[in-house]
Amino acid sequence: MIPVTKPYLPSQQKLKDYIDSIYERQWLTNNGVLVQELTQRLEAYLGVENLLLVSNGTLALQVAYRSLDIAESNRAATPEAITTPFTFIATASSLKWEGVQPIFADIDSNTWCIDPEKIEAAITPNSRAIVPVHVFGNACDVEAIDRVAARHKLKIVYDASHAFGVRFRNQSLLNYGDASTLSFHATKLFHTIEGGAIVFKRKEDHQRATKLINFGITGPDSIGELGINAKMNEFQAAMGLCVLDEIESNVTARSLVSRHYDKHLPLCVERQQWNMEANSNHAYLPVVFESQAQALAVLHRLSEAGVTARRYFYPSLDQAELEMGTGQTMPVSRDIASRILCLPIYAALKPAELSLITDLVKEVVAS
């Protein structure tokens, strides 16, 4: 069986050493030693400041909205945030959980990221923020989005769950927007089993979020505001430190897998148009076929051979069964979502397995 991805498991001995140190200290959570170390090392590796580790990527989004007052409730009308329909459900559902109505803006047909012109058209008097997604790690048009946000005085929270290690114009892509959020789920390029992070532009927003993730507690006998429990624990941080130690070899191995696909996939298969001023972290391998029927035929043929592919992101969220309450139709997102498959990519994929996958894709496309 060839899965669509495999969690990266680092040196077992190194992880044991970290766990032994946790047992020695008996400090399991509440900003422990390893959480502090991982925070510092990630800031250095990624080239960012004001990074806050949290327990998962969905809470990273929710805490970011709260910290930036996007979810402020003492208003006559429901606050709105403009986001993409071509994303994982958590991007939109996290807004709904915080009392913010997601308003969809369609995607660019080549990059698959949110179209800045469509963002502008979706703005209303109730708009409070823009929540773009760096889809599959591909950098959004951050400068155009910045201009739209500035014109309309909107906050920007980037869902950068796929963009670990991506740099744009020689700096971290995570430095754009008022905040960028990361997911450190086990299936991600970098993971802490479960976990996430927020990178804030401003130190004061980071300071507020630090209190929010610990129930809003501001001192031994004081609670400053309504908070939540979103802290990362020491065991998560231990895994993260081990994975970070080996991140370069992991990315290099994945880049070789990507190179095989680039060389051997049929030319008629559509690939994502990459932002030429940003690097790729090789987190995903998405391809778009000429029709939904062809994509489903490839999916079926791969499954017969024991290969798992995934329809990321299907369905487009504007047609998901979960009611988002927008009543919108996003034709580009629907079209791409109907024809896309993510093919297997992980460091341990063998050349023979890669050849099997590309041969099967060619077989269906040629039939």
Beta-sheet pairing, 101-104 with 80-83: parallel
pLDDT of 174 reads 98
Mean pLDDT of 202-231: 93
Mean pLDDT of 332-348: 97
Which domains does the chain show, CATH number per domain? 12-244 (3.40.640.10), 246-366 (3.90.1150.10)
Q: Which residues of 332-345 are buried (b: 16+ CB within 10 A; e: fewer)?
A: bbbbbbbbbbbbbb
pLDDT of 325 reads 63
- pLDDT exceeding 70 applies to what percent of the chain? 97
Whether omega for the bond prior to residue 315 falls within 30 degrees of 0, making it cis, is yes
pLDDT-derived band at 322 (thresholds 50, 70, 90) equals low
Mean pLDDT of 72-97: 89
Mean pLDDT of 15-42: 98
**What is the end-to-end Cα distance of the chain in Å, rounded?**
24
Mean pLDDT of 102-115: 97
- pLDDT exceeding 90 applies to what percent of the chain? 91
Quick check: 72 pLDDT over 80?
no
254-293 pLDDT per residue, tens: 999 999 999 999 888 999 999 999 999 999 999 999 999 9
130-179 pLDDT per residue, tens: 999 999 999 999 999 999 999 999 999 999 999 999 999 999 999 999 99
CA distance 357 to 295: 14
Of 98, 76, 42, 50, residue with least CA distance to 228: 98
pLDDT of 75 reads 64
Given the residues 188, 201, 231, 362, the one annotated as active site: 188
Quick check: 225 pLDDT over 60?
yes
Quick check: 186 pLDDT over 60?
yes
Quick check: 221 pLDDT over 90?
no
CA distance 159 to 183: 9
Is 6 considered catalytic here?
A: no
Quick check: 71 pLDDT over 90?
no
The DSSP-derived string for 72-119 is ---SSS--EEEE-SSS-HHHHHHHHHTT-EEEE-PBPTTT-SBPHHHH
Quick check: 74 pLDDT over 60?
no
Of 161, 112, 140, 163, residue with least CA distance to 288: 112
- How high does pLDDT run on average in the chain? 95
